[in-house]
Amino acid sequence: MKKHTYRIYHIIISIIFVSMILGGCKKDTTDPINEGNKTIEDDDSIVETGEDTDEDKADTSKIKEYAMHMGTVEVEEELIYEDDFEGDSTLFTGRGAAKVEIVNKSKVGEKSLYVSGRTALWNGATVNLSEELKDSEKYIVNGWVYYEVGPDQIQFDCKVERNNNEYLSFASAMANKGEWTEITGSIIIPEDTNTASVYFETGFAGGELIDFYIDDVTIKHEIAKVDRGDIPSLKEFYKDLFSIGVAVTASEIPPDRQDLIKQQFNSLTPGNELKPDAVLDYAKCISDPKYDDNPAVNFSRVEPILEFAKEANIPVRGHTLVWHSQTPRWFFTEGYSQDANAPLVSKELMLKRMENYIRQVLEYTQTNYPGLIYAWDVVNEAINPGEGDENGLRVKDSLWYEVVGPEFIEKAFEYARKYADPDVKLFYNDYNTEETGKLLYIKRLVKGLQDKGLIDGIGLQSHLTMDNPSLVDVNSSLLEYGELGLELQITELDMGLKSNTEEDFLNQAKRYKRLFMFIKSIHESGAANITNVTFWGLSDDISWLNKPSEPNYPLLFDNYLLQKPAFWGVLLSPDIPLY
């Protein structure tokens, strides 16, 4: 085992799109709009909303034009831990029932760490680095994994356990049997971390708990000195139109990110910490029969986000109260049993659990953070046409539907309206909302809730790619939903991009610019009451779209929090051409 310190310095040169700035880009009205097969002449929606497609004539009467510039970053890396297992001892220990030993098998050299005796997926190899891993600092972990017996392919995960009860995923890799596979990722250690361990485990392997090997583990502390320059504020740019939000998790708000969030955004969404699996307290639920119809809750995971929002005076969107996903099955079972075959409770009992859960969440947030949460996604992703329900509701993987029936949606809104403060807005939230079939079912659902005074708005997630959906379809759907007269909020915006060349980033910026010109035009025309646009994450490195060995670049800031061309596209910069 080796443990020492050294420093490496990198200078990341800012990317300047010289040709774009000097040469610009002349509009050719015969070119495709890059939205399927339509050309600009075919795009009736632009005419319908009063949009001027000539970038030189873009409406700037209410906003200031900004010339694009990029920043610079100086990166310092400090190696805080490494182990090639070539010695006779290691700081790694078995996690749970797992046992570890140094053996004569290696990727490079002669030895590696062998992990065996596992009785659960979370059993693996762990190393305590409580002294080395500091609050709010970023670390890069790299290692190699290998297995000989089991399925042809399996997922390996590297995680951090903090404070002995919270588990942070940050690195995964799909490994093939008999091949050494690299696993790497970065993590920002949350504030108030008292203990921290890095550990390796496997995912589900078809019922098998495989033995595996680990080799060449390194952990580096990364310090980035960033100079973004004098950049404008998104929230100020759009202050007369709608608020601009960002989704964060508790591990994503160290001081440097807090400063950028305060500068750029005036709405905040907890990405995971207000979902049922983060709030429900299983240990307490099973501790006393009194919790059988009144589930116990715990808000420790969301408190850092709410405290930050309160201090920064940033209003919060609550996400989400009722969702088929990230709600544990035991919440629906008799006695809160975790047995895979445990019977589900009656409809009557489940409705009591639902009401008391919603009541407690709203009472806690409104009592401890009065006025902070201005809107709630009450029900999330309940529409999935083609599963047999006449109203297009999700059937196959929804325990809410299975236990309560289709009326669970209306009951959720009924309870939310009952316990929410009068000025809190209630939303239905979903994805692929521009698809024609889904749009019609969503409008039908929402209209029924609207007629009963139970809903204030629709959340349109808007997870886009570079090719889909068509912005023409997005534009048309905004007009369709706008007909209901409710608030519209784009709640989870990102734009998936799997390559990071200069050309790719420029094309992403163009698409973002066209999107925001559509949104701006629709709002100003009064065709739809768009009140918020929220980006699903602050920077590319923490996006949910990142997969093992497949990075994604969907957001406005890169992993060093430098503004990308996409940032300037959202600001409608004249240096970003439309096509």
For the annotated catalytic residues, the residue numbers are: 381, 492
Rounded Cα distance between 196 and 186, Å, is 15
Angle at 44 between CA 38 and CA 46, to 5 degrees: 100
Other C-beta atoms closer than 10 Å to the C-beta of 432 total: 19
User: β-strand 243-248 against 212-227: which pairing, if any?
Assistant: unpaired
User: In the structure encoding, which two tokens stand for residue 482, read together?
Assistant: 């706008």
* Cα four-point dihedral sign 47, 50, 51, 55: positive
User: β-strand 373-380 against 316-323: which pairing, if any?
Assistant: parallel
- What lies within 8 Å, CB to CB, of 565 at 6+ separation is 17, 68, 505, 506, 508, 509, 576
Rounded Cα distance between 428 and 430, Å, is 7
Burial 167-181 (b: 16+ CB within 10 A, else e): ebebbbbebeeeebb
Question: What does the DSSP assignment read for 432-501?
Answer: STTSHHHHHHHHHHHHHHHHTT---EEEE--EEESSSS-HHHHHHHHHHHHTT--EEEEEEEEEE-S---
- The dihedrals phi and psi of 207, each to the nearest 5 degrees, come to 95, -10
* Cα four-point dihedral sign 15, 20, 21, 23: positive
Nearest to 478, CA basis, from 444, 516, 507: 516
Rounded Cα distance between 502 and 506, Å, is 6
- What lies within 8 Å, CB to CB, of 57 at 6+ separation is none
What is the four-CA torsion angle of 503, 247, 562, 135, rounded to 10 degrees? Answer: -140
Nearest to 270, CA basis, from 309, 324, 244: 309
Secondary structure in 3-state letters for 173-227: EEEECCCCEEEEEEEECCCCCCCEEEEEEECCECCECCCEEEEEEEEEEEEEEEE
Owner of token pair 């949910």: 544
Rounded Cα distance between 261 and 94, Å, is 39
Owner of token pair 């994450």: 537
- Which residues, in sequence order, are bridge partners of residue 488? 458, 530
305 half-sphere exposure, CB direction, 13 A CA radius: 26
- From residue 377, alpha-carbon distances to 156, 317, 323, 369, 380 in Å are 33, 8, 10, 18, 7
- Which residues, in sequence order, are bridge partners of residue 95? 124
